[in-house]
Each structure stands twice: as C-alpha cells, then as structure tokens.
Amino acid sequence: MLSQFQAVGQALFTQGLVSSQGGNLSVKLGEHLVITHRGSALGSIQEGDLVETGINKNNRATPLASRELEAHRCIYQNTSALAVVHAHPPYAVALSFTEKEIIPCDVEGRALLSRVPILSTEMVVKTGELAGEIARLLSEYKVVLVRGHGSFAVSQLLEEAYCYTVVLEQSCRLLYLLKALRIDPWVTPV
C-alpha cells in the first residue's frame, strides 16, 4: 500500500497538482481508513506519513491525520468509494472562481468525467456541512471541485482517482486557454 501512496503522491507533486505540503490521499480498509499525515509532503511519502484511523470513530492516531479527515470519512460513509485523492489543481481551481460547473470539451474529459460540479463554500460553510455536501455529490460524480480550494476524486483504486484528477486538470487547462482566446468550445466555426 505504501508504494501506491508514494507513486500517486509523487505524480501529483511532479505534475503541479499539489504544492509541497498540499493535498491528501486515503484508502478505505473495512471499518478503517489509511490517510496521509497532516502536513505530509505527497511528493516524498514515507511510511510514517500514513495514518490509520476509524471511519466512524477516533483512535490515538486520529489527531495526526490530514485536516481533510472529516471529508474523507464522510465520503466513505456515504459512497462506495475505496480511494480518495484531494488535490489543488491550479487551472481547475482558477476556473472554480468563474464557473458553476466544469463541462469538459475534450474527448477524454467528456468520456471520463462528462461534468464536474463546483461547490460554493459560502453555500455550505454557513451550515457547517461541507464534508456532507462533497460526499453527496461524489455519490453521483467521480470528481467535485470546491470553489477556491481544490478537487476531490473518488474511485475503487487510488491510481484511478488520481487519473480523474489529471483528466480534470487537462480539461480545465484547455477550457482556460479557450476562454483566454475568447473561443466558445461549443460553437462550431463557420
């Protein structure tokens, strides 16, 4: 399992999808989850950077877990996901400020994601239910964006959730460039 975390963490970091100590990864193991340590560097994960804790209850290791533990727990409690990748892909985060959803215009993005909802933090922070809303959306979509924060991708495998994160960012790069060129990807040129 350590090698999976290392491979995905390194890939996220080298592709610029997380900063030196941003983002987090987790996998579900029965009634437990293994999640990256609070503040761990995903680009160089070591065994001590992984924390095992309960999905429904705390243990001695819980305070060491990522700050996003509540979201990961809620996702596992409310979806069939076995892996979660939380990243901060820059083009996706940039577009989260101007869009209500991401609809990929590239073939791969449309095939794998079709639509990525963007969750406005103002909408849910007032009620304190951000984790619940992320989980609700991830029961229907493979990836969700939190405006100004980052993406949460789910799958049965860590590598697949990573793949969805990469596809989201590639789609958002293209959408960003088309917006900069003032080209509407949905209008066929004459």
Taking the domains of the chain in order of start, what are their residue ranges? 2-180
Backbone angles phi and psi of 67, in degrees to 5: -65, -20
Cβ–Cβ contacts within 10 Å for residue 92, how many? 27
How large is the angle between the packed helices 130-138 and 69-78, nearest 10 degrees? 40
* Distance separating the N- and C-terminal Cα atoms of the chain: 52
pLDDT at 190: 58
Per the structure block, which two tokens stand in for 62?
């819980």
Of 21, 52, 33, 7, give the one whose Cα is nearest residue 162. Answer: 7
Measure the CA angle with vertex 13, ends 11 and 15; round to 5°: 70
pLDDT at 127: 47
Contact 61, 13 (CB under 8 A): no
Choose which CATH entry (3.40.225.10, 3.30.530.20, 3.30.565.10, 1.10.1060.10) describes domain 2-180: 3.40.225.10
pLDDT at 120: 87
Contact 38, 84 (CB under 8 A): no
Q: How far is CA 110 from CA 33, 107, 113, 134, 150, in A?
A: 31, 5, 6, 21, 20
pLDDT at 150: 96
> Tokens 């994160």 map to which residue?
165
Query: For the chain (length 190 residues), average pLDDT per consecutive 10?
Result: 96 95 96 96 95 95 94 96 98 96 95 95 63 95 96 98 98 95 79
Backbone angles phi and psi of 185, in degrees to 5: -65, -15
Per the structure block, which two tokens stand in for 175?
């959408």
